[in-house]
Chains A and B, each alone.
Chain A
Amino acid sequence: MQTASPPPTAPESRRRSLLWLLPLVLLPAFYEVSAFRLAGGLGFPLDDAWIHAQFARNLATGHGFTYTGTQWVAGSTAPAWTVLLAAGYFVVRSALIAGKLLGLVLNVLTAVLTARLVLHLTGVRGIAITAGLVVGALPAMTWGALSGMEVPLAAALVTGGFAVYLEPGPHLRRQAWALVLLALGVLARPETLVIFGIVSLHLVATSGGVRGRTRAAGLVLLVGLSILGPIVAFDLWTIGRPLPTTFYAKSGPGLLWALSAGDGPQVALLFTKHGPNALWRFGETMVEQVGPLAPVVFAGLVTAIASPVRRRGGALLAISVLAAVFAMGLVAPQRVKPENFRYTAQFLCPAVALGVAGLASWWRVFGPRWMRGAVLAACVASAAYAGVSGAPAYALAVKNINELHVTLGEWIRDHLPPGSRIAVNDVGALAYFGDHEVIDLEGLVSPGALAVDRAHRGLGFTQQTQPDYVAIFPGWYPDIAARPDLFREVHRASITDNLVSAGSVIVVYSTPWTRYPPIPRASERPRRRWPA
């Protein structure tokens, strides 16, 4: 007589579920192999990653939150990531390895949290696992996992915050943890502030009675002040403004600028054009990210709103994501576009998760088990295809940054005399590898530059700071490039296949204040392939 095999135990079931996440390790590995073959080494796909690395290295080696010299500066948009990266550097003594390992772990964590969230929304394990795989395989997430940047941290915190908030369980502790995760998400990507705000409002509004609402409001204030308060205080202490320098340097003609300038028409334009346009561009980003799965995700989003998924938290998810993206269009309208997916990855994940969760509304239609399995397998295959198709761009980006920024940074280290001060306009790898004090013409780590208007900043700020050398993209500062009488070219680095860099050429100029000439021959230090 045959007996049925016993059901798997909980640990066995968890191990099996974890096996499903193996592809999320294989995909980043494919990206890195592609990059290694093209670039001849490992690296980061964006210079901004080296800014985090520089802050992290300084923090881990006892120099505090400094970038260059001894001055503390609030120059990181993602202090949570900077601190985490510093902890990683402290352990492995390599920002590159720490960044990638942490990114991989956080990407897998995001996938697990996505699955947990979708399981709560739908109750269907297969859909939940599929959602986790699809989110983890998004080109933005794979890129982010290897980028050395805050992308997977922000995604994990936002997804985790929603997952914890929406699940049933002891109320107060669950709510507190959700708020903590979302507040930390703000420290990973400041756009998450809108989501924190909406979830806080939802918490207060749905708490029963005056006492309940008061308690909820108190919890929000406590979490907000204790996590976000210190950062605001730090910003005020270091740069005299409540937000980090990156906001003032990069936000462009956004809402805060328009309000401070009293520009009413611009405010109206932001709400009527840029906000809706941000939503449109976000849709474009989703189409680019999920590829052939786009119709499924969009159809799933519609059905999720119209089905029981809505009552389980789908509506809150949708409103939070849409409001956050709209707000991005108000504050930094130039940022929301498909190629800037690193700014919206933490919104892409819950949006895609909700879209996949919408499949549950059609689950009855896919009758037999094999058909349901085929549908889910097709979803994962589509996601994998979209993920794999992002590898060439990643590889080229690493090549660009290595060949231009890292190479020039090493040249600066080897050829410019110790003690030289260098003004730069892409401050990541040039500072990390250059081993010299840098002056940031863009103002990210040199807030004084922001006081000079953009058109005259090159000449104006260099006259103020009097660096020994200037290393810039000539097209960004024509007021410098057009003055060979003052600024003489001593070296240049260039690439021909530029995809991600702000320019194809960086030129190093001597200045009227150059104290020490360049060193003609490279120093004896060996070229490092695995930089610390």
Chain B
Amino acid sequence: MARLTRQDRFALVLYVSVAIAIGFADYRVRPGMQQDYGLVTYIPGVLDGSFGAPAIYRVLAPYTIDLFIRFTGIAPLVAFVISRLLFIYAALATTHVYLRQWYSPAASAGGTLGAAALLPLTFTDGWAHPDSFPELFLFTLGCAFVARKRDLAFLVVLVLAVLNRETAAFLALLWASFRLSEKVSPTTLWRAAAFALVCVAIYTGMRWLRGMRHYDYVMLRENWANLKPAGPGYDPYRRVFGLFWLILLAVPAWLAGKGLMASDMPLFIRRAVPVAGLFLVTCWTISRVIEARIFLPMFPLLLPAVLAAFTTPRSGVSHAAAVRG
């Protein structure tokens, strides 16, 4: 990846405003009485284990935000909003740096701003989930380290990401899909197994530490039912929240498919798209797709291929030549 240029620094400054805009929309789009639900109910519930599964196993964000509030001494709601803004900014900046692995500063900024524009489609919950933006930040960072083959840094990010949300285990799958496609060697096999073991250890360890509690594991029927518009008592957007995931992903997925047709496509990008497909299938099976925030990891998985649809010239010049040019 090239060193940060002036345009990169301009973009990083621009993302401050973008992060505030997203944070503002994120806060104000929730119903008034639930704007602080994450702070006054969710975080204390996770900390004392009363909120219920699977929230009590996703400890990173609640503990981090709680520490931030105690450490800074700022009023809790203000500190909560600031922490959220910090995570949003971190996610945007990380996305830009991630895309710079293959694209120019302008293309990377375009991709990051495009992703930022789609983020409001993930604000379908009645209250702001503390783990959403940390998830986007950590998953993107993990993808960046996979692409750059920084395995030690990746391991640290993987641990943090899985402590935030279990579906970050797909980072381990991405690592295996990418590195084993390059070269199957004892080293890569051992590392793939180790990363998988880390995910399993955190998953089972959290359940052992906090007590095993069951919840609805298979959500297929509910997800199908939510595709139907809700009743007329809801506002027009709320009625089609069950389709927001489709609106969020359909065009990017199509663009990613178009982008993959370019020749010379880097192996990482080619491997990330099938992992995104598998992620989608998993979410559909075990999560509530009406909560479109669960698809945030699709952003870093699809974005590089999506951008390839814009930067690949029509004459069929190879992708590498196009991004250099």
When the two chains form their complex, are residues A292 and B281 in contact, meaning their CB atoms are under 8 A apart?
Answer: yes
Residues of A near B220 (CB, < 8 A) are: 287-288, 291-292, 294
A435 to B271 Cα, complex, angstroms: 66
B273 within 8 A of A: yes
When the two chains form their complex, are residues B181 and A366 in contact, meaning their CB atoms are under 8 A apart?
Answer: no
Interface members, chain A 348-383 (any B CB < 8 Å) = 362, 364-368, 371, 375, 378
When the two chains form their complex, are residues A367 and B224 in contact, meaning their CB atoms are under 8 A apart?
Answer: no
When the two chains form their complex, are residues B224 and A295 in contact, meaning their CB atoms are under 8 A apart?
Answer: no
A284 to B223 Cα, complex, angstroms: 10
When the two chains form their complex, are residues A294 and B284 in contact, meaning their CB atoms are under 8 A apart?
Answer: yes
When the two chains form their complex, are residues A295 and B281 in contact, meaning their CB atoms are under 8 A apart?
Answer: yes
Residues of A near B228 (CB, < 8 A) are: 280
Residue of B nearest to A292 (CB): B285
Residue of A nearest to B221 (CB): A287
Residues of B near A280 (CB, < 8 A) are: 228
In this complex, how many residues of chain A approach chain B with their Cβ under 8 Å: the count is 21
A296 within 8 A of B: yes
A530 to B269 Cα, complex, angstroms: 61
A283 within 8 A of B: yes
Residue of A nearest to B254 (CB): A306
Interface members, chain A 265-313 (any B CB < 8 Å) = 280, 283-284, 287-288, 291-296, 299
Residues of A near B257 (CB, < 8 A) are: 362, 365
Interface members, chain B 101-160 (any A CB < 8 Å) = none
CB distance from B167 to the nearest CB of A (A): 15
CB distance from B188 to the nearest CB of A (A): 13
Which of B218, B224, B277 is within 8 Å of A362, CB to CB?
B277
Interface members, chain A 81-124 (any B CB < 8 Å) = none
Residues of B near A283 (CB, < 8 A) are: 224
Residue of A nearest to B270 (CB): A367
Residues of B near A366 (CB, < 8 A) are: 274
A288 to B221 Cα, complex, angstroms: 7
Residues of B near A284 (CB, < 8 A) are: 221, 224-225
Known A365-B274, A367-B181, A375-B274; contact A296-B221, beta-carbon cutoff 8 A: no
Give the interface residue-count category, chain B. Answer: 20 to 34
Residues of B near A365 (CB, < 8 A) are: 257, 260, 270, 273-274, 277
B177 within 8 A of A: yes
A378 to B224 Cα, complex, angstroms: 21
Residues of A near B225 (CB, < 8 A) are: 284
When the two chains form their complex, are residues B260 and A364 in contact, meaning their CB atoms are under 8 A apart?
Answer: yes
A283 to B227 Cα, complex, angstroms: 11
Residue of B nearest to A306 (CB): B254
B280 within 8 A of A: yes
Which of A291, A292, A371 is within 8 Å of B181, CB to CB?
A371
Residues of A near B260 (CB, < 8 A) are: 364-365
Residue of B nearest to A280 (CB): B228
A296 to B284 Cα, complex, angstroms: 10
Residues of B near A294 (CB, < 8 A) are: 220, 224, 284-285
A375 to B284 Cα, complex, angstroms: 17
A287 to B273 Cα, complex, angstroms: 24
A292 to B278 Cα, complex, angstroms: 11
When the two chains form their complex, are residues B284 and A295 in contact, meaning their CB atoms are under 8 A apart?
Answer: yes
Residues of B near A364 (CB, < 8 A) are: 260-261
Which of B181, B224, B270, B281 is within 8 Å of A287, CB to CB?
B224
Residues of A near B224 (CB, < 8 A) are: 283-284, 287, 294
Apart from A288-B221, A364-B261, what 8 extra A-B contacts exist at CB < 8 Å? A287-B223, A288-B220, A292-B284, A292-B285, A293-B281, A294-B284, A295-B284, A365-B260
The 6 closest A-B pairs by CB, nearest first: A295-B284, A292-B285, A287-B224, A295-B281, A287-B220, A366-B274
Task: Provide 24 A-B residue pairs closer than 8 Å at the C-beta atoms, listed in order of the A residue.
Answer: A284-B224, A287-B220, A287-B223, A287-B224, A288-B220, A291-B220, A291-B285, A292-B284, A292-B285, A294-B220, A294-B224, A295-B284, A299-B280, A362-B277, A364-B260, A364-B261, A365-B274, A366-B274, A367-B181, A367-B270, A371-B177, A371-B181, A371-B274, A378-B278
